[in-house]
Structure 1
Amino acid sequence: MSCYAVIPRIRVQNANMQTNGFLLGGVPLMAANMFAHHLARQLSTQDQGLIYIHHDLQRLGGQAYGRFTPAQRRGAVFIGKKDYSSKNKYALSLQPTASCHLEFSLVIKFASSRLSPEKLASILSRSRFAGGQIVEFSKISTHSENELETALKKIKTGFVVLDRQDLLIQYQQRKQLNRVQAFTQLLALKSEQLRTFFADQSLSWISATCLGYALLEPVNEQRAGIRQAQDQHITPHAYAEPLTGMVQYFSLGEILRRSTDAEDSSWHDLEQLLWSYHWPYDDIFLLKQNHAITH
């Protein structure tokens, strides 16, 4: 028997906003799934998926002439004087960063049916998320595996993150573009243009984020210098590149309303909202929702 743990209104300060090398501000789905995995290990169970509900994101930096400039922080210590500025021997160099404050809720499915909300709260109070400090969260509750709707009603409002790879594929085929062209053009469309092109009035807020990684080389156990490895000589290691996908923010209130609508069966199965990680191939690690989203 499984259960759902509801962690409402998690507030994180100074989280990493760079979900991959060229993308700022994407919803931190990869961080959320690895965070759920961390919680499961602390609770001696397994994570079986999560639902991410977005509430707020505050970018840390300046905005001028339509351009965002991330705030930077100087280092606090030096190592062998190698990280001092080359132009000023008394100033520590900057390490390029992009940070944000986050507010979100998580509904995590765990393999165990017996979880203590108090123990989960204790773990959260000393954990970090996407490199940021967890400063606050509301009361945690647990629900049986057939009470997902009840679990979501504990959160009430927010925007659920949906996988919309289908939009990208459809746009690419209809426009006869390559995948990169379709990706950039689709992200540039305004809400009304999206609704008109796909004939779908529910489309209003799409975005991009990191949804996985692909290995660039075979796994290597001989390379030294791996951070946090207990044994430098036998720890598997490989270079990888991020896989960027298309997502949509969709109103939780609208999903809950449709889940009880007898004439609209698109959201009767709320488990389709669950994101989980898997290896579809030996060299690809990917986040995926349980089922394709259709409206």
Structure 2
Amino acid sequence: MSYLHLSRLRVRAANALAGNYAINAAPVMAIVLFVHNLGLKTGCRPRRVAILHHDGQLLGEFGSDGFYDFHPQQRRGATFIDAKDYSSKNLHALSLQPTASCHLVISLLIEVDGPVNRQKVERFLHSARIAGGSVDEVGAIEMQDDLDALTLRNGFWLIERSDLMAAHDHPVDALVAAIGSRATRSKAEPEDSPTLPTSWLAATVLGYAAITPFARREGVRMTGARPDDDGEHPLHAYSEPLLGLVQYISRRDYGPRPIPFWEHTWLQDDVFVVRQTQTS
């Protein structure tokens, strides 16, 4: 077991639109899949990742009406769809696409089975993306066998707060009530554990549920990319995002708790999620 620490990754124009209902700077699902891709491209075997947030800037502006409503930056489409933009009344103009973006500064602590090739990691980061955003800079790349030997900067751990979703029977009511609550200690922790401080909660994508059967379909990712590829096409299904709650906790306030690692798994054949595990 070893640890790969990517310190202060600067990510430019990452996606901040979590489904159709939430905007945030906590793309947990995208970060976990970024780490999965790092493993595929570099040959290492990452198991899970802890996310340390340093800075986030939502791209947009606030209104001048005194209510400070946030208006995210919007972009016009880059191409027509089948030679005609279906969402625009003007056949010669590209319509706006619903988007929200953010700049991020994060550090990632990745638990890896086996060795890590530093040169391959550096090469991967030159063209890597997180949530669609370009990785413009990495402060340092550190590899250690001992977790205590790592140099972790100050920041905010992103921790899962699915326990707050249990307050109501209806998931939407639970989500709205939880975001407006004072989040303290998780119910999963012992009663004598230190109380977590009140801090920011955010709704973000923590999973996907399939809404159609898995089937081989033409035109989806990994199909038709290479004309000479006669391999078996992967199964494909349309899905809907699953929103969950995360909380920003500063390293100082988090205290001696185990590091909050995230990992991906299938809850059942049609539900894929990321969830938190801990290690001392």
TM-score normalised per structure 2: 0.84
Aligned residue number for residue 266 of structure 2: 279
Q: How many Å separate the matches in 2 of 1:194 and 1:48?
A: 29
Distance 1:249 1:83, change over 3 A: same
Partner of 2:197: 202
Within a 5 Å distance, the mapping from 1:239-278 to structure 2 comes to: 239-255=238-254, 258-259=255-256, 267=257, 269-270=258-259, 273-278=260-265
Aligned twin of 1:224 = 218
SS in 2 for 1:274: strand
Q: Deviations 1:104-152 (Å, cap 9, x if unpaired)? A: 110111212x2233331221011111111111111101011xx22332x
SS at the partner of 1:38? Answer: helix
**Alignment partners' CA distance in 1, 2:87 and 2:174:** 41
How far apart in 1 are the matches of 2:31 and 2:233?
A: 28
| In 1, Cα distance between equivalents of 2:237 and 2:197 | 41
> Do structure 1's residue 155 and structure 2's residue 152 form an aligned pair?
yes
Residue 109 (str. 1) matches residue 111 (str. 2): yes
1: CA distance, partners of 2:86 / 2:208: 33
Q: Shift in Å at residue 40 of structure 1?
A: 0.5
CA distance 1:125–1:248, change in 2 (3 Å): same
Return the alpha-carbon distance in structure 1 between the equivalents of residues 163 and 86 of structure 2.
Answer: 48
1:105-184 equivalences under 5 Å are: 105-112=107-114, 114-144=115-145, 147-151=146-150, 154-169=151-166, 171-172=167-168, 178-184=170-176
Residue 227 (structure 1) shift: 3.6
Q: 1:188 aligns with which of 172, 180, 188?
A: 180
1:251–1:85 CA distance, 2 compared to 1 (3 A): closer
> Which blocks of at least 5 consecutive residues in structure 2 are unaligned?
225-229
Q: Supply the distance in 2 between the matched residues of 1:47 and 1:217 (Cα, whole angstroms).
A: 30
Letter in 1 for 2:204: T
C-alpha deviation, 1:27, in angstroms: 0.8
Q: Secondary structure at the match of 2:94?
A: coil
CA distance in 2, matches of 1:202, 1:62: 30
2:44 counterpart SS class = coil
Cα offsets for 1:127-185 (capped at 9, x unmatched): 111111111111101011xx22332xx2320000111111222x33xxxx533212201
| Structure ranking higher in strand proportion | 2
Displacement of 1:9 after TM fit? 0.7
Say if 1:224 and 1:232, in contact at 8 Å, map to a contact too. no
Alpha carbons 1:225, 1:232 under 8 Å: kept: no
The one-letter amino acid paired with 1:284 is: V
Q: CA deviation at 1:96?
A: 2.0
Query: Matched residue of 1:83: which SS?
Result: coil
How many Å separate the matches in 1 of 2:203 and 2:128? 26
8 Å contact from structure 2 (residues 265, 273) kept in 1: yes
Which one has a larger percent helix, Structure 1 or Structure 2? 1
Task: State the superposition RMSD in angstroms.
Answer: 2.7
In 1, distance between residues paired with 2:174 and 2:87?
41
Task: Quote the residue 1:5 is aligned against.
Answer: 4
Cα distance in 2 between the residues matched to 1:125 and 1:289 = 28
Q: Which amino acid aligns with 2:211?
A: L
Query: What are the Cα deviations for residues 192-224 of structure 1, in whole angstroms up to 9, with x where unaligned?
Result: x4459x994523222221111111232122x33
Q: Does residue 1:59 correspond to 2:58, yes or no?
A: yes
Q: Structure 1-normalised TM-score?
A: 0.80
CA distance change for structure 1 residues 93 and 160 in 2, over 3 Å: closer, same or farther? same
- Provide the secondary structure at the position in 2 that maps to 1:203: coil
Which of these residues, 204, 210, 217, is aligned with residue 215 of structure 1? 210
Query: What is the distance in 2 between the residues matched to 1:203 and 1:227?
Result: 42
Judged with a 3 Å threshold, the aligned counterparts in structure 2 of structure 1 residues 179 and 136 are, in CA distance, closer, same or farther, namely same
Match of 2:116, as an amino acid? L
Deviations 1:12-66 (A, max 9, x none): 1111111222221151111101100111111212210000011111111121233
Deviates more, 1:125-134 or 1:72-81: 72-81
Consecutive unaligned residues of structure 1, counting only runs of 5 or more, are 260-266
Of the structure 1 ranges 72-81 and 24-33, higher mean CA displacement relative to structure 2 is found in: 72-81
The total of aligned residue pairs comes to 265
